[in-house]
Chain A
Amino acid sequence: MRITRLAVAELRRFGKPLELADLQPGLNVFAGENEAGKSTLVRAIRAAFFERHRSTAVEDLRPWGDSAATPTIELDFRIGEQDYRLRKAFLKNKRCELWIGTRRLEGNEAEEHLAALLGFEFAGKGASRPEHGGIPGLLWIEQGAAQELHEPVRHAAAHLQRALDEQLGSVAASGGDALLARVQALRGELRTPTGKARGALQEAQAALAQTRAQVQALDAAARSYREQVDQLSDLRARHAADENARPWEPLREQLAQAEQAQAQAQALNAQRGAQAAEIQRGEELLALLHRQLEADAREGAELARRSAALAQAQAALEPAQRAQDTAARALAQAQAESSRAGEALARARLEETRAQLQRQLETSGAHARATAELLQRARAEAGREADLVRQAQALALPPKALQELRRQDERLQALALQLEGLATRVAYTLQAGAVVTMDGRSLQGEGQQLLAAPAELTIAGVGRFTLAPGGHDLAERRAEQQRLQAEHRDLLQRLGLQSRAEADAREQARLALLAQAEAAAKALQVLAPGGLAGLQAEADRLGDERAQVQAALAQLPGARPEPTPGCAPRSSPAPIPTLAAALAAAEDAERLRQAAAQALDAARRHAAAAQGAAAAAQREHEALAALRADAGLRAQHAQAEQRLVDAQAELAVKQRQLQALDARIAAARPDILAQDVQRLRRSAEEAERTQRERKLRLVQLEATLAASGAQGVDEALALALREQAGALRRHDELQRRADALVLLEQTLQTHRQALTQRLRAPLQRHLDHYLGLLFPGARLAIDEHLQPGALSRPRTANEGADGTETTNATAATIAAPFAELSYGAREQLGIVSRLAYADLLREGGRPTLLILDDALVHSDAERLARMKRVLYDAATRHQLLLFTCHAERWRDMGVAVRALRDE
């Protein structure tokens, strides 16, 4: 396609019409300063094709401030051999006319025809958007849009595909994609993309598994049934065998026999028991008889003994009597002795008392004398004390007075000292013949005077000096002194003393006297602790005591007059023993008497006892003798003797019989018999029990089998096997189908991809052609959506990832995704790619027109040079309208640079 002429009017800055004619088939370079309208013209071309004439979204075409404008665009272009003219007017007067040769189309019809012709779409409503641009949208690059490639390619992809498909129609498959989609859908029914079974295949797998499980279960059941049938057969056989053999019967017989033998043995045992009992009784009888006889013998002995006892008792009687008499006599004697001893004791006691009283009297006399003396001394002391006290009293001074006296004296002394201190001292040394008087007293020679009070010193021939010792105090003190002195004299006078010293002496004397009185009192105290009164009382008491004793003494029987000391005692009619001796004798006599009394009692008792014994013995003897004389007893005795003999004989026989029985029993071995019985009984019971249980087991097994038989497990297993076979068939069928679909899908996809690869090949070729001029050795990969991918360029020697030399030979290229390249590189690649697409489309016979509006502004000089070669080459195949504001840059393109200027 190429545009031959462009005319615009009332379009933006072009108020006056502008016409560009004689556009060349190849490269056309238009230069204009900024604001010269380059982009406006590009916009005009785009609007003429892309915008519907009725569009209201074309306000940008309106000339500034011209509300009544009708922007008009006219284009003459040629596609293949056909000439076209397009005229469109917007806004005020909307019009659209397309002349195809002589044929004229209008309005929508014209627009639709254009869209189909060039490969783009119109927007449903509103302004045309990039996605409608189609192929022209890709090839007519607006300012600053060169580096954007992905979106324009995407929008043009369908058109590109169609173009390519038609070109490569012999290779592509019509409806191939639809078929592939169908195959994929069918495959998806049975398998997921990852190969997992789903849908009917999955169900078939599940069903197969289920039937297998069922078959397994039923097979097991059938096997179990068969085993049980065999078991039943076996049990029946054994049961029948035992029913015939009846093994328990012989056992029972043997048991009966054993029991019988056992019974016999037991009978023997019982017999033996009876026999033993009889023997026992016989022995008892024998014993009884023996006892009887013994008793009789004992009785006889007893009688003899009693006779002897009687004699003995009688013999003992007389000595007892005699003893008794002797004892009586002894007692009388002892009593007499005892009374004598008593008398002696009484006398001794009396003497003792007398002596005692005598002594008492003597001691009390001495005591009384001592006490009297003590009393006398005490009285003397008391008197002395009293005297002393009286004397002291006489000397006493009123205590307060003495105190006052002392105080006055001391104060006076103190005052004297003070006055002396305060006093004015006048020391004088008089000349001879000096007449000096002080207070009338003349002073001579040397000396000193103390002046406590004003004094008058008269010096003859000189005058009178009044010396007033200073101080108020002094005067006060002096006054006090005088006062006090007066008081002191009064007091002394009152007291009758001369001086304080005398008072003190008196006081001292008084105190001495008092001390002496105290000493006397102390002595008195020693002598009479209880006081004089007490002492007196004591003396009185003692006197009384003496009187008492004397009276007692006088009262004593056989009283003798008070013996004078040294007088020999009068002799008594009887010797008076000492009290101790008398006491001892009396006690002895008493003891003897008591003993004698006791002896007499004993003798009496003894005699009485002997009497009694003799009487008893007599009685006993008589009784027993009478008894034994009884005749009946005699007879019994004889009988018993006979019976004893018989019994002994019988017993011997019975014992022999017992021995015989024991021998028999031992021979029968009853313990073994018992074991036999037990063993045989257990065996018989066991056999019977086994049979019963087996019967039971048979019944149970039969019932179980009847029940399972009724379930028809064999038949069910056969049916299950059939179902399993069916499930397996279905599963295999579906599996086959799924496998076939998978293979078909894979094969289709492989081929389709190969095809797409082949479609991309020409594009790749065209791209590589240009790329070789721009980046030698580089490759730009094209993906299946015909989008440019990564650009891989050969690595230069000093170009490592981090700037270091790389030694890895395989990493000879660095690949960078398109988006990561620099702006300039992307711009260049954007243009290069579009040129490749244009070449491809041209091969497919589609119209191609390239418009570049201020492109390659970010390319450096070297890149720009390369791009110029690229553009020049492309311009040999396509019309290329290049708008630029750098006229100087494009003067080496082999074509004139046309200036866009207001005309």
Chain B
Amino acid sequence: MTLLLHTADWQIGRTYTRFAPEDSAALAEARIATVERLAERAAERRADAVLVAGDVFDAQAISPRTLRRLFNALAPYTGPWVMIPGNHDAALAEGVWAQARRLALLPPNLHLRLQPGIVELPALKLAVLAAPLTQRHTYDDATAWFDAAATPAGWLRVGLAHGAVQGLLPQDVDATNPIAPDRAARAHLDYLALGDWHGCKRIDARCWYAGTPEPERFKDNDPGHLLWVRLEAPGDVPQVEAEAIARHRWYERALALAVPSDVDAAIAQLDACGAGDVLALTLAGRVDLAAHQRLQRALQAAQARLRALVVDETDLRLAPTAEDIAALRADGYLGAVIAELRDAAPAQQRQAQDALALLAALLAEQRETAAAEARA
């Protein structure tokens, strides 16, 4: 029985522009940490080989430091690693793999195929048909040669490729790096390990996408897994098991706020999120001043608590009630000012909202100062 660990799309070197630099750096760091965890898991469960189906790196010109860190992360697993370049880290005349080779970072147990070919692992009686991408955009099926490729008799025949399975993925019709949907069958493969789709997805009994082990976008297509593939004998249907390995959870929420209780619900949701969450929150609707302030406080707290939080409040309106204004104790012409800001024309709505919020904050400040002085 051969146990293979199938993973792909590590996208090492990727950075995120939506988050604050600290959060972004932490998330990038987490990707390497996940690889390390993955290697540890492979060692723990005594995997026979680890197949990495492309897009190990997110770009070609990666800094040496990041390269070193990634290859160091492979250390926990000392068995054979089989890797192919994907479309992000394609094996061009010069690029990240050449750089890694120059820096002598490729460990001896790494079988890296930069040209289409077969990796033979005699100890495992395993032949891996590797279809690396050697161009940035390939319009031919890189796995086409699998069909006619010969492997030693009696050996397991596993394919390793990176691309878009035609017709089965909800994508554009003329995607690059196409792969025939029945490649596994046509090439008589025991298993076809694919990369490029970032979610964990079963294509057919013998063909799976492992997806990225650590999510890196808000698309909810079930990322954050690695696949354990158990092969008994050549020709058997493989047993495939997904294991969650991601550190963080990425998700998006859109909340509509109309009544004060909505605000409470929103705050409750925020409070429920923790350090492992990366949240994209969209708030729309109307809130009064008090609720707005409560909401702001909750958001600030969440910012500090969550791994990363992006909030979109463009459609959130401030609608101060009479109580709000009374509470402000804005006498004299301030009341008129507040009214004017509240009823601002749509063209100036956002500015007026902000001004109103500011005014409320300043008045509150004044009140507190006066109260403090009175107490003193």
Chain A residues within CB distance 8 Å of chain B? 171-176, 178-179, 182-183, 186, 222, 225-226, 228-230, 232-233, 236, 701-702, 705-706, 708-716, 718-719, 721-726, 736-737, 739-741, 743-744, 747-748, 751-752, 754-755
Q: Whole-angstrom distance between the alpha carbons of A895 and B197 in the complex?
A: 107
Question: Are B94 and A705 in contact (CB-based, < 8 A)?
Answer: yes
Least CB distance, B119 to chain A, in whole angstroms: 24
Q: Is the CB of A706 within 8 A of B15?
A: no
B75: interface (CB < 8 Å) = no
Interface contact B21-A229, CB-CB below 8 Å = no
Quote the shortest CB–CB distance from B57 to chain A (angstroms). Answer: 9
Residue of B330, B358, B366 near A740 (CB, 8 A) is B358
Task: Give, as a whole number of angstroms, the nearest-CB distance from A216 to chain B.
Answer: 16
Shortest Cβ-Cβ A-B pairs, 3 listed: A173-B332, A712-B63, A714-B59
A residues in contact with B335, CB < 8 Å: 173
| Contact A714 B366, CB 8 Å, known A171-B333, A172-B332, A741-B355 | no
B333 touches A179 (CB 8 A): no
Give the most central of B14, B60, B99: most A CB within 10 Å: B60
A712 and B66 form a contact (CB under 8 A): yes
- CB of A232 within 8 A of CB of B93, answer yes
Contacting residues, chain A, for B362 (C-beta < 8 A): 179, 182-183
Contact status B21-A722, CB under 8 Å: yes
Q: Which residue of A lies closest to B352 (CB)?
A: A743
CB pair B350 A178 closer than 8 Å: no
Which residues on the B side are within 8 Å of A183 (C-beta)?
358-359, 362
Q: A175-B366, A722-B15 are known contacts; what are 7 more A-B pairs with Cβ within 8 Å?
A: A173-B334, A230-B93, A706-B102, A708-B61, A711-B63, A726-B20, A740-B357
Q: Are B332 and A718 in contact (CB under 8 A)?
A: no
Residue B174 is within 8 A (CB to CB) of chain A in the complex: no
- Interface pair B332/A747, CB less than 8 Å apart: no
B332→A709 contact, CB < 8 A: no
- List chain B residues, Cβ under 8 A from A712: 13, 61-66
* Closest Cβ–Cβ distance, residue A570 to chain B (whole Å): 159
Chain B residues whose C-beta falls within 8 Å of the C-beta of A755 in the assembled complex: 332-333
Instruction: Decide if B354 touches A178 in the complex (CB within 8 Å).
Output: no
How far, in whole Å, are A754 and B357 apart by their CA atoms in the complex? 23
Task: Tell me, in angstroms, the Cα distance from A751 to B14 when the chains sit together.
Answer: 53
Measured in the bound complex, the distance between the Cα atoms of B337 and A228 in whole Å is 62
Whole-angstrom distance between the alpha carbons of A182 and B330 in the complex?
Answer: 15
CB-CB under 8 A from B61, the residues of chain A are 222, 225, 708-709, 711-716
Given A174-B332, A709-B61, A715-B62, A740 contacting B15 (CB threshold 8 A): no
State whether B358 touches A716 (Cβ < 8 A). Answer: no
Question: Chain B residues with Cβ under 8 A from A709's Cβ?
Answer: 60-61, 94-96, 98-99
Q: Are B13 and A754 within 8 A (Cβ)?
A: no
CA distance A736 to B351 in the complex (A): 7
Selected from A236, A743, A751, the residue in CB contact (under 8 A) with B355 is A743
Chain A, Cβ-Cβ closest to B14: A718
Name B344's closest neighbour in chain A (CB-CB): A743
Cβ-defined contact, B94 with A715, below 8 A = no
**Separation of A171 and B331 alpha carbons in the complex (Å):** 8
Contact A715 B13 (CB under 8 A): yes
CA distance A236 to B95 in the complex (A): 14
Q: Which residues of B contact A721 (CB under 8 A)?
A: 15, 17
Q: Give 22 A-B contacts (CB < 8 Å), ordered by A residue.
A: A176-B331, A176-B334, A183-B359, A226-B60, A228-B94, A233-B94, A236-B93, A705-B94, A705-B98, A706-B99, A710-B99, A712-B64, A712-B65, A712-B66, A714-B62, A718-B59, A721-B17, A739-B354, A744-B341, A744-B358, A744-B359, A752-B333
Shortest distance between the CB of A662 and any CB in chain B (Å): 61
Which residues does chain B contribute within 8 Å of A186, judged by CB atoms? 358
CA separation between A175 and B96, bound complex, in Å? 65
Given contacts A178-B366, A233-B93, A724-B17, contact A714 B354 (CB under 8 A): no
B196 → chain A closest CB, angstroms: 19
Which chain A residue shows the least CB distance to B334? A173
Indicate with 1 or 0, residue by residue over B46-62, a CB within 8 angstroms of chain A CB atoms: 00000000000011111
Instruction: Categorize the interface residue count of chain B.
Output: 35 or more
Q: Does B363 contact A (CB under 8 A)?
A: yes
A739/B351 contact (C-beta < 8 A), A229-B60, A714-B60 known: yes
- A-B contact number at CB 8 A: 154
Q: Contact: A171 with B332, CB < 8 Å?
A: yes
Asked if B60 contacts A225 (CB within 8 A), the reply is yes
- Name the distance in Å between A611's Cβ and chain B's nearest Cβ: 119
Q: Which residue of B lies closest to A175 (CB)?
A: B366
In-complex Cβ contact of B354 among A173, A710, A737 (8 A): A737
Determine if A715 and B63 form an interchain contact, defined as CB atoms under 8 angstroms apart: yes
* C-alpha gap A883/B335 in the complex (Å): 50
Q: Roughly how many angstroms separate A681 CA and B357 CA in the complex, as a whole number?
A: 87
Take A173-B330, A179-B362 as given contacts and tell me if A229 and B348 are in contact as well, using a CB distance cutoff of 8 Å: no
Complex interface: chain A residues within 8 A of B333 (CB): 171-173, 176, 748, 751-752, 754-755
Of residues 78 through 107 on chain B, the ones whose CB sits less than 8 Å from some CB of chain A are 92-96, 98-99, 102
A718 to B15, CA, bound (A): 6
Picked from B21, B99, B334, B350, the residue with its CB within 8 Å of the CB of A179 is: B334
Given contacts A178-B366, A715-B63, contact A233 B341 (CB under 8 A): no
Of A178, A723, A748, the contact of B337 (CB 8 Å cutoff): A748
| A709 and B355 alpha carbons, distance in the complex (Å) | 49
A176 and B332 contacting across the interface, CB-CB below 8 Å: yes
Residue numbers in B under 8 Å from A736 (CB-CB): 350-351, 354
Residue B243 at the A interface, CB < 8 A? no
In the bound complex, residues from chain A placing their C-beta under 8 Å from that of B93 are 229-230, 232-233, 236
- B340 interface residue per 8 A CB criterion: yes
Chain A residue, CB-CB nearest to B338: A747
B202 interface contact, C-beta 8 A: no
Pair A174/B331 contact, Cβ less than 8 Å: yes
Q: Does B2 contact A (CB under 8 A)?
A: no
CB distance from A240 to the nearest CB of B (A): 11
Interface-centre pick from B63, B96, B332, B352 (highest chain A CB count, 10 A): B332
B95 nearest in chain A by CB position:
A229
CB atoms of B332 and A229 under 8 A apart: no
Q: What separation, in Å, do the CA atoms of A210 and B94 have in the docked complex?
A: 30
CB neighbours of B337 from chain A (8 A): 744, 747-748, 751
Check B63 against A233 for contact (C-beta < 8 Å): no
B60–A740 touching, CB < 8 Å:
no
Does B219 make an interface contact (CB < 8 A)? Answer: no
Please encode chain B, from 293 to 320, with 1 for each CB lying within 8 Å of some chain A CB and 0 for all others: 0000000000000000000000000000
CA distance A761 to B95 in the complex (A): 80
Asked whether, in the complex, the Cβ of B64 is within 8 Å of the Cβ of A710, the reply is yes
- Give Cα distance in the complex from A528 to B52, angstroms: 171
Which B residues are in CB contact (< 8 Å) with A225? 60-61
CB distance from B19 to the nearest CB of A (A): 8
**Interface digits, B239-252 against A, CB 8 Å rule (1 contact, 0 not)?**
00000000000000
CB distance from A728 to the nearest CB of B (A): 9
Give the chain B neighbours of A725 by CB distance below 8 A: 17-18
Q: A745 — nearest CB in chain B belongs to which residue?
A: B355
- CB-CB under 8 A from A171, the residues of chain B are 332-333
Q: How far is the CB of B348 from chain A (nearest CB, A)?
A: 7
Q: Is the CB–CB distance between A747 and B340 below 8 Å?
A: yes
Chain A nearest CB: distance from B21 CB in Å?
Answer: 6
What's the minimum C-beta distance from A737 to chain B, rounded to whole angstroms?
7
| Cα–Cα, bound, A754→B332 (Å) | 11
How long is the Cα–Cα vector from A416 to B362 in the complex, in angstroms? 169
Closest partner residue, chain A, to B330 (CB atom)? A173
Which residues on the B side are within 8 Å of A713 (C-beta)?
61
Give which listed residue, A706, A715, A741, contacts B59 with CB less than 8 A.
A715
Q: Is the beta-carbon distance between A722 and B334 smaller than 8 angstroms? A: no
Chain A proximity of B326: nearest CB distance (Å): 15
Residues of B within 8 A of A172 (CB): 332-333
Task: Give the Cβ gap from A780 to chain B, nearest Cβ, in Å.
Answer: 26
Q: Which residues of A contact B20 (CB under 8 A)?
A: 726
Tell me the minimal C-beta distance from B368 to chain A in angstroms: 13
Q: Assess whether B336 is interfacial by the CB under 8 Å rule.
A: yes
CA distance A172 to B333 in the complex (A): 6
Please, how many angstroms separate the alpha-carbon atoms of A360 and B334 in the complex? 180
